[in-house]
C-alpha cells in the first residue's frame, strides 16, 4: 500500500463517498433508497420498505476511554444508528453488533458496553440478534441496524423545494459544549451544568419518536439528522435537492446556559451550533403553505423555524439579526478533511 499524505485529505470523507457512489451506481438497482441518504431502503413487500444502515465508533477517533464509559460507548453506538433510521422517519427493528478489540480488554468493559446497548435497545424494542467479534489493536464498535416504514412515508434528503421553510427539533451546540467540558476537566463549570452537557454528548437521545411523527404527519418534504453539524448536514439536503438555503442566525436554537458557558470561556456558541455536530436533532423542510403553528399541532411537540430553502446552488447564507449576509462553508465532522 503506497501511502500518500494528501490525496484522501484533499478529497475528504464526503468527496470519497461521492466517488464511491459513482463507482457502485449500477449496484443500486432494486434499492428504493441507495447510497446518499441516512439509511438505504429496499422493498420487502407491497407498500413496505426495509431500512438498512450502519455506523461505527472508533476509540480515540469518536471517543476516548479517559472520559467515556463502556455503557456510554455501547449506548451511543446504537444511538447514532437509531438517529439515521429516525432521519428517514422509520421504525428501527433489529441490529447486529460488531466489536473489534484486543485480547487484553477487560471483560467488565464488554459487559458495560452491552448494558448500554441493552438500555437503549429496550427503549425502542430493538432486537440485538447477532454480530461479530474480532481481534483488533484498537477498539471499535459497528452497529448495523434494520428498520421499516410504509413506502409513502419515507423522507429523503432530496425532496426539499424552493420556498420551503427549514425546521429543527430541539437545540444545537449542546453536544459540542458537552465535549468541551469533557476535554476541559479543570475548568470551573457548575457540576449540574457540566453533567447535563456531558450527558448530551455521551448519551444522546435519538429522535426516533419525533422522526416517526414527522413522517406520519406528512408535513415534511425532506429530512436529515444533525450528526456532523448543521452546515454540513444541511448541505447534504441542498446538494441532493439542488437548492440553496438561508439561515437566520438568531433563530438557531442554542440553550441559554450553552451561550453563557461559551461567553465565559471565550468560545463561540454560534460555531458550536453551526459546526458542532452530534446533537442528533432532526432537520427537516416543510412547504411554506403550512404554518409553524399547524406543524406543531400536527406533531405534538415544539420545533424551531430556522431558515428557508432558496433557488440556486447548494450554498448556505447566514443572515445576522442586523440583516448582514455571509456565506457559510459547510464544515463539521469530516473524517479525512484537512
Q: Which of residues 90-109 bind a copy of itself (CB under 8 A)?
A: 93-94, 96, 98, 100, 103-109
Q: How far apart are the first and last CA of the chain?
A: 21
Considering only residues 31 through 90, tell me which ones interact with a copy of itself, judged by CB under 8 A. 31, 33-35, 37, 39-40, 42, 44-45, 50, 52-56, 58, 60-62, 65, 70
Q: Assign residue 13 a region: left if phi > 0, alpha if psi is -120 to 50, beta otherwise?
A: alpha
Letters for 185-214 (x = contact with a copy of itself by CB under 8 A, - = none) are ------------------------------
Residue indicated by cell numbers 451544568: 193
- Of 144 and 168, the one with the shorter C-beta distance to a copy of itself is 144
Distance (Å, rounded) from C-alpha 73 to C-alpha 113?
6
* Nearest-approach distance from CB 124 to a copy of itself, in angstroms: 11
- The DSSP element (H or E) to which 258 belongs, if any, is helix 256-264
Nearer to a copy of itself, 14 or 165 (CB): 14
Contacting a copy of itself within 131-150 (CB under 8 A): 131-138, 140, 142, 144, 146
**Interacting residue with a copy of itself among 8, 193, 290, 319 (CB under 8 A):** 8
Helix, strand or coil, per DSSP, at residue 277: coil
How many angstroms separate the Cα of 223 from the Cα of each of 28, 108, 238, 258, 276?
21, 39, 11, 26, 19
Q: How many residues bind a copy of itself (CB under 8 A)?
A: 79
Per-residue binding letters, 9-38, with a copy of itself (x by CB under 8 A): x-x-x--xx-xx--xx--xxxxx-xxx-x-
Site for a copy of itself in 115-134 (CB under 8 A): 117-118, 121, 126-134
Q: Toward a copy of itself, which CB reaches closer, 31 or 290?
A: 31
Q: What is the DSSP string of 79-137?
A: HHHHHHHHTTT-EEEEEEEEEEE-TT--HHHHHHHHHHHHHHHHHHT-EEEEEEEEE-S
Judged by CB, which is closer to a copy of itself: 29, or 188? Answer: 29
CB-wise, 62 or 308, nearer to a copy of itself? 62
- Would you say 259 and 323 are in contact if contact means Cβ atoms under 8 Å apart? no
Spatial CB neighbours of 273, under 8 Å, sequence gap ≥ 6 = 172, 173, 176, 230, 252, 253, 254
Minimum distance, C-beta of residue 305 to a copy of itself, in the bound complex (Å) = 31
Amino acid at each position: 500500500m503506497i501511502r500518500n499524505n494528501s490525496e484522501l485529505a484533499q478529497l475528504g470523507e464526503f468527496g470519497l463517498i461521492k466517488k464511491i457512489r459513482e463507482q457502485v451506481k449500477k449496484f443500486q438497482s432494486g434499492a428504493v433508497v441507495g447510497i446518499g441518504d441516512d439509511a438505504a431502503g429496499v422493498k420487502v413487500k407491497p407498500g413496505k420498505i426495509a431500512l438498512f444502515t450502519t455506523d461505527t465508533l472508533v476509540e480515540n477517533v469518536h471517543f476516548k476511554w479517559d472520559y467515556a464509559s463502556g455503557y456510554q460507548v455501547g449506548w451511543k453506538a446504537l444511538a447514532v444508528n437509531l438517529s439515521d433510521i429516525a432521519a428517514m422517519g422509520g421504525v428501527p427493528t433489529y441490529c447486529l453488533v460488531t466489536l473489534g478489540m484486543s485480547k487484553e480488554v477487560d471483560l467488565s468493559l464488554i459487559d458495560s458496553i452491552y448494558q448500554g446497548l441493552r438500555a437503549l435497545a429496550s427503549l425502542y424494542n430493538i432486537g440485538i440478534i447477532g454480530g461479530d467479534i474480532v481481534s483488533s489493536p484498537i477498539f471499535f464498535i459497528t452497529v448495523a441496524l434494520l428498520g421499516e416504514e410504509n413506502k409513502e412515508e419515507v423522507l429523503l434528503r432530496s425532496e426539499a423545494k424552493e420556498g420551503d421553510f427549514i425546521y429543527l427539533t430541539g437545540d444545537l451546540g449542546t453536544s459540542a459544549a458537552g465535549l468541551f467540558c469533557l476535554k476541559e476537566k479543570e475548568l470551573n463549570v457548575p457540576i449540574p451544568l457540566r453533567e447535563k452537557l456531558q450527558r448530551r454528548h455521551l448519551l444522546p437521545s435519538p429522535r426516533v419518536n419525533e422522526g416517526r411523527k414527522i413522517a406520519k404527519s406528512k408535513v415534511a418534504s425532506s429530512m436529515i439528522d444533525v450528526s456532523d453539524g448543521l452546515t454540513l448536514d444541511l448541505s447534504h439536503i441542498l446538494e441532493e435537492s439542488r437548492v440553496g438555503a438561508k439561515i437566520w442566525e438568531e433563530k438557531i436554537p442554542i440553550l441559554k446556559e450553552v451561550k453563557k458557558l461559551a461567553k465565559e470561556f471565550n468560545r463561540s456558541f454560534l460555531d458550536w451550533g453551526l459546526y458542532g455536530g452530534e446533537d442528533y436533532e432532526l432537520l427537516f423542510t416543510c412547504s411554506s403553505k403550512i404554518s409553524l403553528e399547524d406543524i406543531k399541532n400536527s406533531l405534538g411537540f415544539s420545533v424551531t423555524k430556522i431558515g428557508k430553502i432558496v433557488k440556486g446552488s447548494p450554498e448556505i447564507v447566514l443572515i445576522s439579526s442586523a440583516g448582514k449576509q455571509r456565506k457559510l462553508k459547510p464544515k463539521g465532522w469530516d473524517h479525512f478533511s484537512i
